[in-house]
Every structure is written in structure tokens, then in C-alpha cells.
Structure 1
Amino acid sequence: MLSNVESLNGLSGKFPIYIGGSLLVVVMSLLPIRYINFKKSNRSLLALFLSLELAVTMLYGNTYSQIFGVYNILLQYKDNIELKAAIKAQGDVAKEFYKVGVSSGRDDTPNLPKKPNVVVVFTEGLSQHIIEDKRNIMPNAKELQSKSITFLNYYNHTFATYRGLSGQLYSGYQFDNYDKNNLVSIQSILKKNNYHTSFINTEPKNSQFTSYLENFEFDEVLTNIKNTKGEANSLSDEQAYQKLFKVMKKQNKDGKPFFTAMYTYGTHQSFDSVDQKFENGKDKVLNRFYNVDHYLGKFIKEFDNSELSKNTIVVFTADHGTFADAEYKNAFPDQVRVNPDVDTIPLSIYYKGMIPVNIDVQGRNSLSFAPTLLDYIGISEENYFLGESLFLGKENNNSYDTVFHDNTYKMSTDLGQVKPLSESQEKIIDNQLQKYFAAKQQIVEK
């Protein structure tokens, strides 16, 4: 639960609420307590109340029960300790996840140069339905998808950002937010193929996030600490896209293919737009998505009119879906979500002049991001990816690519239906997760 709050900055305007609540708990715990001897009838009544509380919680979830919510956190803590011990007991298990290469499901792309430049934009917390919304909140993203290869019914495999970025670049799950993955990644494979790799840091004053990015072992983490205009001392989405295009132009002159990734921060939960507003500007959820879309549109227009469009692909996606908090529900009252952490997210691959196509992936998830991207550009190397290319059919004997996992939930997204795993599925996944969490700590040849 608490690990989903990636940094204190991410709380933004809700920071006083969280701090106030925490202080209240501490103060109450320090108050003197007097022992009260309940009558037997009162004890029976209390037992009945707690039994009803538990029954309601089991039927409807702990949204209705703060008491059971606290119990659930303590239970997660206990499970975490037991899982760490089980992981430590694993031996040399990396070989169980070894693959000789990336399985391909497509022919060569016409007109695409060999080893094209690759640009990936991870948009903070963006669900696909926001792009499709009839109010036209993100018209530029909608237009981009109309001229791209776009994957539909594609879900986030985890939540939140620290798990989402790492999980997609390495095609794996995280045990903790800040685990380093020593296995193979998109960037390590592209380095091996003579690419220059870089990640643009849009939170340059967040030392925690900067250290996290440095663990990915890109050739460069590009940090600009001057004149941050966004919320929480970040680059605004306008600054981020301007920085991206500037980096692309510079790297294009260096004579090597490049892989540049960026995470835009301006659509984070609780933020309002610092610039563009949607209609009357009263809904900050709609404002922030409208704002990032505005600067995505300017970026694509500039890209299309440049030499970069001849040798570069742009991949537009998200770190995870939009979290379904109260502000989200107010902005999208007709949107029904089974789980607040799990949703369809965008994934579009764009190359100027390509033949656009929509591919329904039937509930497969962002573990497939790395192999799909490499399959598209025709690069295959040894790897330990849990996902498979989305260009392959769904019947690929993959145990993971329809399984959502974070520190709270394990859910199935198979066939686009979000639901809990069956007891047998959960047992299999738990066993494999223990092995994978041990494997990613091993040092392997890259």
C-alpha cells in the first residue's frame, strides 16, 4: 500500500492529509489506556460486530473497513518477510528464464531502415480510455494512434511507476520498488548492437528517482536541474518534450543509432496543469491530460517535419494505468473499474508513412513491451524476458503476460477480463515469482 506512494513529492496537495492522519495515529497510540472489564454479554456483542465486519470486508473488499485495512497491511508485512526468506533459499535459477533470442511474429517492416533510432515516451498514469474519451481530452494522442501500429486491450502488468518502468524495460516483475534487475534489458541489448542509450530525467531534483534511473545502466541519464517549471520541482510536460527533441537532434548527428527514453511526470495523481487547461479549467484531472496531449502534438508535428522522421521510430505508452482515486471517479463517472490499479494502457509504434493497424492483444500486458519493440526493429539477443512479442499470437504458452502483480494484488487480465487468479494459478505464479526475484539478483552476461 505505502510503496505505491513513490515519493513524498508525489502526494502534492494531499501531503497534509497523509501527515495529519499519521500524526493522529501516533498521538492516539500514546494516550493512557485504562483496562475495562467487559461483561460477558458485551464481549459477545463485540465478537459479533467484528465477525460482521470481517464478513462484509470479505464480500466487498477493505474499501469499507479501515480496521481490516490495517490488518491487511500487517499481513502483507508478514508475507513479505516470509517471501524474502523463500527468495534467499533459491539457488541458481536464472537459467530457468533464459531464452536464446526474441521470438519474432512479423516480417521485415517496409521502408524501415536497419537499426532505426528508437524513442520511447512513458506517460505517467495514462489509461487508454482517456485517449478514446468522447470529450476529446487527448486529440493529438488519438491522431497519433490513427497512423501507428496500436495495440488494443493491452494492460499494465504492475503498479506504480517504479515497478512499471523497470518492469517494461526488463520484461519482469519487481519484489520491491527499488530492486535492481541484473538481467537483460532493452537498453543492454541495444548497447550490444552499437546503440547509444539515454534516459531523460524529468525529476532532476528527486535524488531517489535519479538513483533509480541510474540503476538501469543507460549510457547516460540526462539531468537538467535548471529552471524546472513543473509540479514538485520537475520538468513540465512542455519542457520535457522540448528537451526530448533537442536531445534527439544532437544524438542524430553523432553517427550512431540511439535509444532514448523519457518519462513525463505532469499527469501524476493530484497534479493540475501548470499551462494548458481543458475547457473551463475546473477539473484538474482533465487539465493535466489535455496539457500533456497538447505538447505531444507539438512534438510529433516538429518530428514529422524534421530529418529524424526518416530514420526514427517513436513509441508512445505509459508507465501504468490511471489510478482510480476519488478525483478520477469524478472526472470519469461512467468508467467502471474492477481494480483501481489495473487498466488498459496505450502502446503505439509510429514511423512516418507507415501503414497503420490496430492489433487486439486480448488482455496481454506490458511485460510484452520489451520483446515487442525488439521484434519490430528486428533485433534478437539472449534474454530472460517474461513476456513475448505482441506480434505473436496469444497462444504462446506464456504464463505471465496476462498476470498483473504489485505488492497488493495479483489479477488476471486474460481476454480483457480483470479478475482474481484462480487458486491453482496463484500457486503457480507465486512459485515462479520466488524464482524470478532470486534470478534477477544474479549477475549474468549481457
Structure 2
Amino acid sequence: MVCVIELAVIDLLTKLALRIRHVAPRSLALLVPATLGVVYTAQLYATWVSGGFIPPIAFANSEVTGLVSFSGAYRLLAAFLASFVAYAVWQRKRIERTSIPAATAGLVGLAAVYALLVYNQPLARGIVIAKGEAPVSSFVHSVVIYAGMGSRVKVDAAGLDAIRSSFTRRSVYQHGFPEDITRSLPERPNVIVIFAEGMSARWMDTYGSLNPGVTPNLDRLADGSLVFTNYYNHTAATFRGLRGQLTSGHQETDGYNDEGTGIAQRDVSQDVTAIPRATVPTILKPHGYRSMFFLSQQEYVNNMIETLGFDRTLGRDYLYDTYLRKPGETARPVHLSDLQLFDAMLLELEAQPTDKPFFAAVYNFQTHAFLDGEVKYGDGGNQVLNRFHAFDRDVGHFIQRLMESPLHENTVLVFTSDHSTFPDPFAVKADGRMPLYFVDPIPLLIYWKGVEHRSINLMGKNSLDLAPSLLSLLGVREAHNLFMGCTFFEQCTLDRISNIGDEYILTDPQRSYSAFQVPEAQLASFGHARDVIERYKSMDLIIETPNVTSKEPIPHMLLRNEAVLGSFQSPKAGDVRAVGIKIGNFGGTSDGNVSLKVCKAGTCRASTASMVGSVDNDYLQFYLPEPLRVATGDAITFTFRRIDGTKPLAMWSYPGSTGSELTLPNATKVPRDAKIALTF
């Protein structure tokens, strides 16, 4: 009934707009029902391809939607717009028959009934249409929810530092892989991690597939690997899954989008990203590992991956131009096929110098939702089974080549997924056990030459545990991090809760549960974990700062180990014995220690000071261990750094008068000066 009311409203709005006499305002008024009709039509198309209306997570995964062909949707929308214009022209000729009071009364009446029917409507999941959903209202609901998933919330430095402190860890793990498993592991091995796009474990015979023979090559690999079962994705979609696994965390915002609000594209001239996170490649770098990430596409996903600390992000352009382009070819494909991606990756890895091990990760594309496979499974009637069957052919080709490569002697191969398969009608038809939410067991295989095959039941743990577990396999124990997970061989409190937007899913040794299904005995711990995850995600929010072009003084917040760099000129000649810098200690509440390093022509002096006893909005004195001799007008550089402490601390800056710049903790350069006082 709600769907019919929306159609009736669109019709009445069209007729009322046509009563307007002047062309310009009439055309503008017609845009309203036309836009509503476009949304309605798009939702019908979404229902046809996925079984339900567009969910919020679809907007969160917009970085890859440009690579999926929606030509059917475009044709349908074009047909609607042509029909709308024809209908408007036809109605215009008979518009005098429409009574404005009657149409207005009908519109008001329909609106009242409509409001009652859509009140508290369920959130669209994109899987089935729930009772109470309607195309237009559901679309608006999804947009509002998605906007809330990445809202710009103001976070003060004190609260932010307290949050970071509560999650900061100085070690990666206590209990890693048992020695009886790693006995045959090569010393300082290379690592290749395959993140299969949107693959649940249920398509493999290894994990009890209801459709035998979909992935024969992966099943053969599993027969000689460590196989981890009852292992779930902790989030979705693509970038949340990739970043979340490589940082062992959840996130509030997406990575890169047209609005410019993603993690990879904040305007740091006005905003400061809250907390950078340690990732697997950044932790491995001091241990001599070079890192690479391989993708079949270009643009958004590549830009997002570049925020994760890999030394190189190798996408379509580089791989195609270096390894795949044939003589005479000029245009690049929209994306590489999975076979092309794996072939080019192996060629690149085989060309790497052997003086250092590498950590390489790869994300394919051709198993993305709504795509069909080049190789048909069975009668070819199920696109989900087709695409994973085709993927198995391509990844099988890569595995065979790797086994024949010199890399085989000293490389660990990890096969997993960025997230589970989206439960669209094809997926549910292929396996009716599939839950109608975006959390499902995902595959995890770990192989190296000589590994003893065994199956390890993870009892409902999720992909938060991938990063600490891989690092433990490589023996990297000590590293500062913000990991939420632990290794597969430890117990922690957050690795059995999956989160997508505002939806939370509990996983345990038996099954998974939506928030409404959580057993009563686990409700308290589930609620606590949900609160902790929300607190963690706030580290992806931003600190709003004043406009740096302001003529007023501006305080620049400093968290632990953050610094402001700048320069100034000596007002006179002599021996500088102390340097003062103007700070704000928020009414005497700042704690911890700070340092100041000043340099002139390569000669430097450094000193530390305690914030305890400092004066708010005044100079904090640093007494130099030796005088620094300067001449009038000498350029002196400084680095003001917060060493420790958790309470708010700021350094004041003022409009620049000498053309100098300050470099803020987020690496932004601003035309401002610090307030410096020299004691000679």
C-alpha cells in the first residue's frame, strides 16, 4: 500500500506542477516529481538485481560501483524519464480538468496516511523488502543513516588523547603460533596475502559447500595448508574490510568519495585527522620488509590503499603498462581481469631484489557482487557460483605458477577475503543457510612449503585478529599499535563482534546473531563491546580547528609525540641561554613533559620542561644546556614536541609577519609564527 501511495503522490505533484502557467517555474516544479520518480525507478531496479532496496552500505562501497556495469539501470531510468515527459505533455492538454483544491486535499490526505505507514520503517538491507518499506522513503532513510556513518563530529584533544591511551598497546601479542606449527617456517619469509573480493567460506568444499566443485583449486591448496574455520568478517564493505584487517580495527568513515570527506581526502587546512593507525606494512618496515599492494583498478581504491602505509600501490596503470600491454594497444581496460592481475603481480614479485623480504597484498575485482563469471558452474544459472568458479580458475593458475617459482621456497601465501559475500537472491538461492545480514564465515588458508596440514577452529573469532596473527607468525612482537584484536591463539573481548554502520552482529562457536537474536546471557557483554567499538571508531573523527588565516591567536593542540616545527630570526647578537615559547595549559591542568630543539646553521641545542607548574597563556622556559651564539637576523629553527601526558596542551600561534611558516602535527604548513622569547 505504501508503494502505491508514493506513486499517487508523484502523480498529484505532477498534476499540480502542470497547473503553473509560466514555463520556468513550471519546469522547476516538475523536477520534484521527476526526481522522486527516478528514485522510485532506481529502487525497483535494486529490487530486481539484489532482492531489496538500496541499503546504507551501498553508499559506503561507492568506490567500486563505477566498475560494475549498470547499463540496465541507465536504460530503465532513460525509459522512465521519456515516459514522464510524454505523460506530462499529455496531462498538460487536459490539465483544466484537475481541481487544485481537490488535488491539494488528496495530497495532504495521502501524506498523512503515508507518514503513519512509514513511521519507524525498518532499515533497508538490500536483501529482502521488509514490511513497511517503500521505495522513496527507504532511499531517504538509507541516505540519512549513511550520512550518520561518517558524520563530522567535533572531538576535543583531551577526549581524543584519553581514547587513544585506552587502546594503545606496546606489544602485538603474548601468545602467537605454537612452535609445532611454525617448525618448518622459513626464516624471514616473504608474505603474499590474497584478499578475495566478497567471498564467504561456504562456497568451498573445504568448508562444507552445498555446491560441490565450485573451487577445486582452492580446495587443493587447503589440503596442504593451515585451514581456519568458524572465522568471520568483522566489517564490510571493501575499504572498511581491507583497512580494518590491516589495522585490526573498526572505522567510522569511508576512505575516498566524491564529496571529499573520506579518510584519504580530508581538507587538512581546516581539519585535523584524529589518529593515525599502525598497519601491518608500517610495523614490518623497521624489520626490513618492503611492502606492495596490487589492484586491478585505478583511482578511489588505490587512493585509499595509499593511506595504509604500503611502500608502493600498484594498480591498473602500472601493471598494464609494464607487463600486459601488447604492441599497438593504446587504451587501457576499465580494470584488469583477475587472471591479468595475478600474472602481473607474480612477475613484479619475481623481479624484486632478494636482499629484503616483501609483504605483498592483492585485492581482485571480478568476484564483486552483481557480476557474473566467465566460467559457468553447472547449468550457469547462478551468477554467484559462476563468478567464484571463474575466480578459482584464475587463482588456481596463480597458485600453480607460484609453486613453480623460486619464490615458493621462501614465501608464505595467505588466502582470505575482504568481507563475506553479499546475501543477494543468487547467494541465498545457492545456500539457503546464508544469514540475511552482511556477516558470514570467510575463508582463511595459510600455506608455506613444508607446512603440516591441519584445521584450526577459531570458535567465532573474526578478521580483527588477522593483523596480530600474521605479525606473530613473523615473530614481530614489539610495536606500538591500536589493535582491537589478538592472535588466533589468545582470548580477547572484541573479536566476536562484527560491525557495519549501526548494525552489530555477535558471533560464537555455534553461529552468528543479529542484535535482536543475542542470547540473554550474552547481552551485557555484547552491549559493553558495542560501546567500546563506538568509542574506538571516534578516533576516525576530526578535530575542528580555527581558520589558520585568522588574525587572532590560535591554539594548536598537541597529543603525545606530536610536534610543531617553525623558524624565527634572532632580534640581536649574543649567547642565547634560554628560549621561551607561549603555551596554553588549560587553566593549569596540562601534565607531562615537552621538549624544545633550536638550531642555527647546523648547531643545535635541546632542552626539556615539565608542564607541571607552567603558567597558562604564558611563556614556558627551556634552559639550554650550552649557550647558542647568534648574530642579529640569524635564522633559527625550532621543534616543539610533546613527550608525554594525557591532559590538554596547546601552543599558541600568531599571524605571520616575516613570511615564515609553521608545520603542524598533521604536516600542514601555515603562514603563522610562534611566540618566542629569548634570554641572552
TM-score, normalised to structure 1, is: 0.84
State the one-letter code of the partner of 2:440: D
Which residue does the alignment assign to 1:100? 170
Aligned residue for 1:220? Answer: 312
Task: Spell out the pairing of 1:27-426 with structure 2 (5 A cutoff).
Answer: 36-37=104-105, 47=113, 51=116, 57=122, 63-64=130-131, 65-66=133-134, 69-70=138-139, 72-73=141-142, 75-76=144-145, 79-80=148-149, 84-85=152-153, 87=155, 90-92=159-161, 93-103=163-173, 104-108=175-179, 109-132=182-205, 133=209, 134-178=211-255, 179-180=263-264, 182-203=276-297, 206-222=298-314, 223-226=318-321, 233-251=334-352, 253-274=353-374, 276-330=375-429, 332=430, 334-382=431-479, 383-392=481-490, 396-398=491-493, 400-421=494-515, 424=524, 425-426=526-527
Deviation at 1:145, TM superposition (A): 1.4
| 1:210-259 deviations in Å (ceiling 9; x for gaps) | 21121122111123244589x971111111111122122112x4311111
Q: 1:39 to 1:147 in 2, by over 3 A?
A: closer
Q: Does 1:433 align with 2:534?
A: yes
- 1:80 to partner: Cα distance: 4.4
Which structure carries more helix by proportion?
1
| Inter-partner Cα distance in structure 1 for 2:138 and 2:496 | 27
Q: Which has the higher contact order (CA 8 A, sep 6+)?
A: 1
Kept in 2, the 8 Å contact 1:115–1:377? The answer is yes
Question: Is 1:16 aligned to 2:73, yes or no?
Answer: yes
Cα 1:431/1:18, change in 2 over 3 Å: farther
Q: What letter corresponds to residue 69 of structure 1 in structure 2?
A: S
CA distance in 2: counterparts of 1:87 and 1:4, whole angstroms: 26
8 A Cα contact 2:155 2:541, kept in partner: no
Is the 2:458–2:488 Cα contact (8 Å) retained in structure 1? yes
Cα deviation, residue 21, structure 1: 9.5
Q: 1:431 to 1:87 in 2, by over 3 A?
A: farther
Amino acid at match of 1:217: G
Q: Distance in 2 between matches of 1:286 and 1:80?
A: 32
Shift, 1:390, TM fit: 0.8
Q: Which residue of 1 aligns with 2:606?
A: none
SS at match of 1:429: helix
| 8 Å CA contact retained: 1:313, 1:349 | yes
- 2:149·2:253 contact (CA, 8 Å) conserved in 1? no
Counterparts of 1:225 and 1:305, CA distance in 2: 23
Which region of structure 1 is more displaced relative to structure 2, 137-146 or 412-421?
412-421
Equivalent residues, number:
427
Cα distance, 1:429 vs structure 2:
2.1
Higher fraction of strand: 2
Q: CA distance change for structure 1 residues 51 and 39 in 2, over 3 Å: closer, same or farther?
A: closer
C-alpha distance in structure 1 between counterparts of 2:333 and 2:501, whole Å: 25
Distance 1:143 1:21, change over 3 A: farther
Contact 2:319 2:344 in 1 (8 A): no
Cα offset, 1:288, TM superposition: 1.6
- Superposition misfits of 4+ residues, deviation over 6 angstroms: 21-24, 31-34, 439-446
Whole-Å Cα distance in 1 between the matches of residues 333 and 120 of structure 2? 41
**Which ranges of structure 1 fall in alignment gaps of 5 or more residues?**
none
Contact 2:63 2:300 in 1 (8 A): no
- Aligned 8 A contact 1:309 1:352 in 2: yes
Q: Determine the C-alpha separation between the residues in 2 that align with 1:440 and 1:69.
A: 27
Q: Distance in 1 between matches of 2:469 and 2:457?
A: 14
The CA deviation at 1:363 is: 1.3
| TM-score (norm: length of structure 2) | 0.57
- Please give the alpha-carbon distance, in whole angstroms, between the structure 2 residues aligned to 1:135 and 1:194: 43
Q: What is the SS of the residue equivalent to 2:359?
A: strand
Q: Point out where structure 2 has 5 or more consecutive residues left out of the alignment.
A: 1-55, 93-99, 256-262, 265-274, 327-331, 543-557, 563-680
Distance 1:244 1:106, change over 3 A: same
